[in-house]
Amino acid sequence: MPAGVVLDVADTETVFDAAHRTGYLWPTVCGGLGTCRTCVLKVSEGADNCKPAGELEREGLATLGPPAGDGRTRLACQLRVTGPVVVVKRGVRRVKELRGL
Ligand code: FES
């Protein structure tokens, strides 16, 4: 949300990787290495289906301040899911749209 993009995220990949695999650009500076925090998202539904944040993600979220410690703020490039999740992230675009195709 808010673009209404639906991603099928495989067990072995992150939300960020699933977006790229299916033709979407997810905002990033570091390319998914977990260092820029540009990919940050908000989980609006299905938080129980999100795997716990690892050390790299927890460190990155800590730099974003108190709202990031709410358990619903996550880094897309680190987030793995086990079931349906609804997230809010502005700027997710289909590659074709960006190229005017
Ligand atoms: S893409 Fe840079 S931290 Fe996730």
Give pLDDT tens digits for 41-90. 999 999 999 999 999 999 999 998 877 778 899 999 999 999 999 999 99
Minimum CA distance residue for ligand 1 atom 2: 36
Minimum CA distance residue for ligand 1 atom 1: 32
- Which pLDDT value is given to residue 19? 97
Residue 63 makes CB contacts below 8 A (sequence gap 6+) with 37
At 98, the pLDDT band (50, 70, 90 cuts) reads confident
Choose one of 38, 57, 74, 92 to mutate for the ligand 1 pocket test, by most ligand atoms within 8 angstroms of C-beta.
38
pTM of the model: 0.91
Q: How far is the CA of 67 from the centre of ligand 1 (A)?
A: 18
Kindly state the tokens that stand for 95: 């590659």
Phi and psi of 57, rounded to 5°? -65, -45
Q: How far is the CA of 30 from the centre of ligand 1 (A)?
A: 6
For residues 31-45, give the mean pLDDT: 96
CATH 3.10.20.30 describes domain 15-99 = yes
State how far the Cα of 11 lies from the Cα of 37, in Å rounded to an integer. Answer: 22
Q: Spell out the domain ranges in the chain.
A: 15-99
Quickly tell me which residue has 């990949």 as its tokens: 13
